[in-house]
Structure 1
Amino acid sequence: MKVLVAVDRNAETFVGLRYACHLLESCYAKVDALHVTPDLKDIAAESYAPFLSKDGLENAIKTEIQQVEEMFREAFQPCLPTNLPCALQITAGDPADEILNVAHSDGYDMIVLGSHQKSYLRGLLLGAVHAKILHYAEQPVLIVRQFREIHRVLVAYRGSHNDDASLRFLGPLLANKNAEITLLHVQETGQGESDEFARASLQKGAQILRDFDFDPLARMAKGDFVEEILKDVAVNRHDLIVMGAYGHKRPKYLQLISDEAHNLARLTTRPILVFRETIEVRTA
């Protein structure tokens, strides 16, 4: 399994690297950090730093790279006990485009995004780069705004094929964590969802997790999907949210995620894994 963690010179983004190592500590995985610098071929010096010449801009970018390299060496220290191989890559261009391109061309299985503290304090929990990657990635995307050891996991479960695949992806990741997993199905009565369908969905999801030797808690709620999930996270202090990128009505032509997945990723302060495809994860 190959995981790509996006980082920059803001220390908060390296929380994603530490969290990825924590999540994958029992898996056969490789974790790479990616830093994207401005591309001198595409930008004018004055648009990036008006007071710098071209040489000055090049030196500023070199200094930025050196800072990121030093931050990477420091941030990776807590990951050393996991024995996960990890390297830092540097590329140039538009951050979202480059992260998506590298993830696709190099065959990464998951993208991890940290968060800037300034954005967090201002309530901008899903910036433009995060939003673009979340919508257009071909892989599961994990957004990390704070490091929390994984003890309680909430799966926002709608019973779709994509949700089922997210459980099969999650099972090996949590194999040795002794985590409490809760399946929460929000019954969407406004869309005509019956009690029988809701119960059958929960039973199906619980059985998938039992196949991985978990004993999940299965609960139903009624109301607005996002509001009920956020309420449960606050009351039960879950450490990680997992959900499929698509509900039962997956877009036919576009990769865009469901409104529920976007809004939950935008509003929660917990780490959230938005799942897209099924891959094999081997445990150590």
Structure 2
Amino acid sequence: MLRALLAASDLSSRSKPAVWRAVQLAQAQEARLGVLHVVEDDQPEARMHEEMRSAEALLEAQVGSFGKPDKCEVFSRAGDAFQIISEVARERAADVIVLGAHRRQFLRDVFVGTTIERVTRTAGRPVLMANAMTGERWKKVFIAIDMSETSAVAARKAQALGLLDGAEVSFVHAYAPITRQMMTFAGVAEDRVREEAEREFQAIRREVAEFIRGLGLGDLSYGARIVEGLGALAIVGVVEQAKPDLLVIGTRGLSGVKRLFLGSVAQELMGSLDIDILAVPPTE
């Protein structure tokens, strides 16, 4: 279960859902909640401290309007946002960091390098990107799986933190029908193509079922969706159609040149979807 949460706010409208969601989770699980604002430290000290006091007053009022939990502290720090957020999360042993969605700018909507992307990549603990404009409990949760240990860790962590409790849970797996594509390209008869495509789908279905059983999630009630397509694009399609409240994804923690060239499904999803997303690192 959740014991401690850290919500970080830059006082913008996109941070409001993060504070709201953090309050809801803290109340539901009686967890400790820290609400943090980071002030840039490249300014005169007097001005910096004034900004910190003002930010704390604004956040106190905001948290109060949502129903401040019993174990809640509002505070500010000075420094680089993503570094301070990660440091404070470690200090407070936060189980989850809650952040607002990144800035979406016309023709410059690049997720790499934003505060939330950097925190997700470096903090070493789950990051919840809150997009929902209400703090209502999640009713429908999707867990993206690719049969890797990364996605297994994400699923187990979401359950261990109590984030799946009371929700309709579905595992989502995307696959590319390679056999059908190759046979169609080779001019194989349509009936034969359909037969092989069905055989391939059933094999994937069995693999998904075995993977989910191996997660050891006890008596969790769940469904499964298998969709055709590649990576993030396929997941985006099913999410936009089914409209879950939360998507759980694993992250691989790629860094540097490797991250820039290879990209990341988690990175793409967090940069494009407008629902709450829990990104879970492979290790903590």
TM range (shorter): 0.7 to 0.9
Asked whether 1:75 is paired with 2:62, we answer yes
Deviation at 1:75, TM superposition (A): 2.0
Instruction: Give the match's secondary structure for 1:76.
Output: helix
TM-score of the pair, normalised by structure 1: 0.76
Q: Percent identity?
A: 22
Greater alpha carbon shift after TM alignment, 96-105 vs 253-262: 253-262
| Unaligned ranges ≥5, structure 1 | 46-56, 280-284
Structure 2 counterpart of 1:199, from 192, 196, 206: 206
Instruction: Give the match's secondary structure for 2:76.
Output: strand
Q: CA RMSD in A?
A: 3.3
Asked whether 1:145 is paired with 2:139, we answer no
In structure 1, C-alpha distance between the alignment counterparts of 2:110 and 2:30, rounded to whole Å: 31
Asked whether 1:273 is paired with 2:263, we answer no
Deviation at 1:101, TM superposition (A): 1.9
Residues 63-212 of structure 1: pairs in structure 2 closer than 5 A: 63-77=50-64, 79-80=66-67, 83=69, 85-115=71-101, 119-120=103-104, 122=106, 124=109, 126=111, 128-148=114-134, 149=136, 150-171=138-159, 172-174=161-163, 176=165, 178-189=166-177, 195=201, 196-205=203-212, 208=215, 211=218
The equivalent of 1:33 in structure 2 is 35
User: Relative to structure 1, is the Cα distance of residues 202 and 22 closer, same or farther in structure 2, using a 3 angstrom cutoff?
Assistant: farther
Moved runs in structure 1, 4+ residues, more than 3 A?
23-26, 57-60, 78-81, 120-127, 188-192, 206-210, 250-258
In structure 1, C-alpha distance between the alignment counterparts of 2:224 and 2:35, rounded to whole Å: 36
Deviation at 1:71, TM superposition (A): 2.1
TM-score of the pair, normalised by structure 2: 0.76
| Cα-to-partner distance string for 1:143-199 (whole Å, 9 max, x where unaligned) | 1133353111111111222222222222252354x321111111245699x643553
**Across the two proteins, how many residue pairs are aligned to each other?**
255
Whether the aligned pair in 1 keeps the contact of 2:176 and 2:229 (CA below 8 Å) is yes
- Equivalent position amino acid for 1:38 in 2: E
- Equivalent position amino acid for 1:31 in 2: L
In structure 2, C-alpha distance between the alignment counterparts of 1:199 and 1:128, rounded to whole Å: 39
Structure 1 counterpart of 2:248, from 242, 245, 250: 242
In structure 2, C-alpha distance between the alignment counterparts of 1:95 and 1:224, rounded to whole Å: 34
User: Relative to structure 1, is the Cα distance of residues 84 and 11 closer, same or farther in structure 2, using a 3 angstrom cutoff?
Assistant: farther
Instruction: Give the match's secondary structure for 2:90.
Output: helix
Instruction: Give the match's secondary structure for 2:274.
Output: coil
Structure with larger Rg: 2
